[in-house]
């Protein structure tokens, strides 16, 4: 079977990537809309970018209204600013939320209508040039053809996936991630780990996506605990930034599976950050999918060095599942109860969440494909047994 492999047109990585990107950005347009959040403004990250834009004489307007995971009204507002200020290209700087928002604003600016109508829609018209600058090592949005926007009227996290959402230029400077606090570092890092594991075990995986997935799993196992406990370690931050991007490329091509499918309804209904709900679900879901993905999980055990030659493939797969559970425990991920999710509400919503998870489609890519009863049982197990 043949597969098409998608990556951004250009990627610049490493310290001072923003400075280097200016020679390309100069040709992208006359005025940029910078999409970001208030934290990026107060941390000085937006100024680092605008100082460089000033040097090349490129104009810009700043929209810093993405102060939670993006909602449809934030996108509406961004489109108005883009048009009102006469912008002709876009730069998203921040975590996945500003980068996804920037892509969604670009999509609506080119294709019209309201973002609420974009679920499952093919983007007919080419987007203006887009630049992604991540400040978390997590979503990989800088290098994916995906944008996730919550329609708050329907309480649904919409997954937009279209090759036109791939950035023209991704600019990855790990130095931006140094200020991420431990909670954000862990949640976003486990999001990246989940992308890589899901891509590698997906029914849609293929050799090119596998290369990126395995490389990301290795780097994250070696570095996530270090960046959690010693956030100023630049070498480890660099490894995590690269891994997040690799994991993004892997899943953008091979798709995610059950964890992301089950995670989105939890995020939409109980307002738990994307990375955290993935981290909560990863252990439970790995135990579930293991019997369908023994060979793949055994490969990952070899990649992270927990496989021994006397092990059967089954034991190898178990070794990976155990190593992941141990890693998650060491990262002190909050449970649903610790996030103050009300028990009765959670249980009442289980049938709706299971339907929504299946409607998202990604659980269908799992090698042990779940039905609604399986997913409902997993939500119950998640509540009762924790991580």
Ligand X SMILES: NC(=O)c1ccc[n+]([C@@H]2O[C@H](COP(=O)([O-])OP(=O)(O)OC[C@H]3O[C@@H](n4cnc5c(N)ncnc54)[C@H](O)[C@@H]3O)[C@@H](O)[C@H]2O)c1
Task: Tell me which of 78, 92, 138, 316 binds ligand X, using CB under 6 A.
Answer: 138
- What is the H or E stretch that residue 32 is in? strand 31-35
184, interface contact from ligand X, Fe ion, none, CB < 5-8 Å by kind = ligand X
Minimum distance from residue 251 beta carbon to ligand X (Å)? 7
Among the listed residues 8, 78, 92, 95, the single contact to ligand X using CB under 6 A: 95
DSSP string, 51-63: HHHHHHT-EEEEE
Place of tokens 């049938």: 351
**Nearer CB in complex with ligand X: 250/294:** 250
Residues 265-294 that bind ligand X (CB under 6 A): 274-275
- Chain-centroid distance of CA 49 in Å reads 23
Of positions 8, 96, 316, 370, contacts ligand X by CB under 6 A: 96
What's the rounded Cα separation, in Å, for the pair 348 and 385?
Answer: 18
Short-list 154, 176, 225, CA closest to 12? 176
Asked if 36 interacts with ligand X (CB under 6 A), we say no
User: Which strand (E) or helix (H) includes residue 156?
Assistant: strand 156-161
Which region, left, alpha or beta, applies to residue 325 given φ > 0 means left and ψ of -120 to 50 means alpha?
alpha
- Asked if 236 touches ligand X (CB under 6 A), the answer is no
- At 151 the three-state DSSP class reads strand
Taking the CA of residue 36 as centre, how many other CA atoms within 13 Å lie in the half-sphere pointing to its CB? Answer: 26
d(CA 198, CA 264): 15
Question: Judged by CB under 6 A, which of 133, 148, 241, 247 binds ligand X?
Answer: 148
Task: Tell me the CA distances in angstroms from 217 to 22, 191, 339, 348, one per residue in order.
Answer: 32, 11, 27, 35
Which CB, 166 or 293, lies closer to ligand X? 166
From the CB of 81, what's the least distance to Fe ion, in Å? 27
Three-point CA angle 217, 219, 222, nearest 5°: 105
Q: Check binding of 147 to ligand X (CB under 6 A).
A: yes
Choose between 64 and 136: whose C-beta lies nearer to Fe ion: 136
Q: Is 202 in the site for ligand X (CB under 6 A)?
A: no
Least CB distance to ligand X at residue 157 (A) = 6
Q: Which range of residues in 119-127, 145-153, 206-214, 366-374 is near ligand X by CB under 6 A?
A: 145-153
In angstroms, rounded to a whole number, what is the distance separating the alpha carbons of residues 386 and 375?
A: 15
Q: Does 185 bind ligand X (CB under 6 A)?
A: no
- Residue 162 or residue 318: which is nearer to Fe ion going by CB? 162
79 binds, among Fe ion, ligand X, none (CB under 5 to 8 A by kind): none
Smallest distance from the beta carbon of 353 to Fe ion, in angstroms? 17
Task: Please state, in angstroms and rounded to a whole number, the distance separating the CA atoms of residues 27 and 36.
Answer: 22
Q: How many residues bind ligand X (CB under 6 A)?
A: 30
- Report, in Å, the least distance between residue 94 CB and ligand X: 5
Which helix or strand (DSSP H or E) is residue 313 part of?
helix 313-330
Task: Name the binder of 65 from Fe ion, ligand X, none, CB < 5-8 A by kind.
Answer: none
Q: What mask of x and - would describe binding to Fe ion in positions 152 to 171, judged by CB under 5 A?
A: --------------------
Residue with Cβ nearer ligand X (176 or 221): 176
For the chain, give percent helix, strand, coil, nearest 5: 60, 10, 30
* Of 130 and 136, CB closest to ligand X: 136
Residue with Cβ nearer ligand X (56 or 234) = 234
Residue 37 interface partner, choices Fe ion, ligand X, none, CB cut-off 5-8 Å depending on type = ligand X
Q: Is 69 in the site for ligand X (CB under 6 A)?
A: yes
Using CB under 5 A as the binding rule, the residues of this chain from 183 to 212 that contact Fe ion are: 191
CA dihedral 239, 243, 244, 249 (to 10 degrees): 150
SS3 label, residue 47? helix
Of 162, 152, 13, 171, which is closest to residue 73 (Cα–Cα)? 152
C-alpha to C-alpha distance for 238 and 47, rounded to whole angstroms: 22
User: Residue numbers of the site for ligand X (CB under 6 A)?
Assistant: 37, 39, 43, 69-70, 94-97, 100, 135-136, 138-141, 144, 146-148, 176-177, 179-180, 184, 188, 191, 248, 274-275
User: Residue numbers of the site for Fe ion (CB under 5 A)?
Assistant: 191
């Amino acid at each position: 079977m043949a597969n098409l492999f998608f990556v951004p047109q250009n990627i610049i990585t490493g310290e001072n990537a923003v400075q280097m990107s200016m020679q390309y950005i100069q040709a992208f347009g006359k005025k940029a809309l910078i999409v970001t959040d208030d934290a990026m403004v107060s941390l000085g990250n937006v100024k680092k970018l605008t100082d460089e834009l000033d040097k090349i004489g490129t104009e810009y307007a700043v929209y810093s209204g993405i102060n939670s995971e993006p909602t449809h009204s934030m996108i509406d507002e961004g489109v108005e600013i883009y048009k009102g200020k006469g912008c002709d290209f876009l730069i998203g700087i921040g975590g996945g939320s500003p980068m996804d928002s920037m892509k969604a604003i670009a999509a609506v600016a080119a294709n019209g209508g309201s973002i609420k109508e974009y679920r499952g829609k093919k983007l007919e018209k080419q987007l203006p040039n887009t630049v992604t600058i991540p400040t978390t090592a997590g979503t990989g949005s800088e290098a994916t053809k995906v944008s996730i926007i919550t329609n708050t009227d329907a309480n649904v996290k919409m997954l937009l996936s279209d090759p036109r959402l791939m950035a023209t230029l991704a600019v990855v400077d790990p130095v931006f991630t140094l200020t991420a606090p431990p909670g954000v570092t862990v949640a976003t890092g486990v999001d990246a780990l989940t992308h890589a594991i899901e891509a590698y075990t997906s029914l849609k995986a293929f050799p090119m996506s596998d290369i990126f997935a395995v490389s990301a799993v290795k780097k994250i196992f070696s570095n996530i605990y270090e960046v959690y406990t010693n956030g100023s370690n630049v070498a480890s931050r660099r490894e995590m930034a690269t891994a997040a991007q690799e994991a993004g490329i892997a899943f953008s091509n091979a798709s995610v599976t059950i964890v992301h499918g089950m995670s989105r309804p939890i995020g939409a209904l109980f307002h738990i950050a994307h990375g955290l709900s993935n981290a909560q679900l990863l252990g439970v879901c790995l135990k579930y999918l293991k019997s369908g993905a023994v060979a793949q999980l055994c490969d990952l055990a070899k990649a992270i060095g927990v496989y021994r030659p006397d092990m059967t493939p089954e034991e190898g797969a178990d070794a990976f599942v155990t190593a992941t559970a141990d890693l998650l425990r060491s990262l002190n991920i909050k449970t649903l109860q610790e996030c103050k999710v009300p028990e009765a509400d959670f249980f009442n919503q289980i049938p709706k969440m299971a339907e929504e998870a299946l409607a998202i489609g990604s659980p269908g890519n799992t090698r042990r494909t779940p039905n609604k009863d399986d997913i409902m049982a997993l939500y119950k197990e998640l509540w009762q047994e924790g991580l």
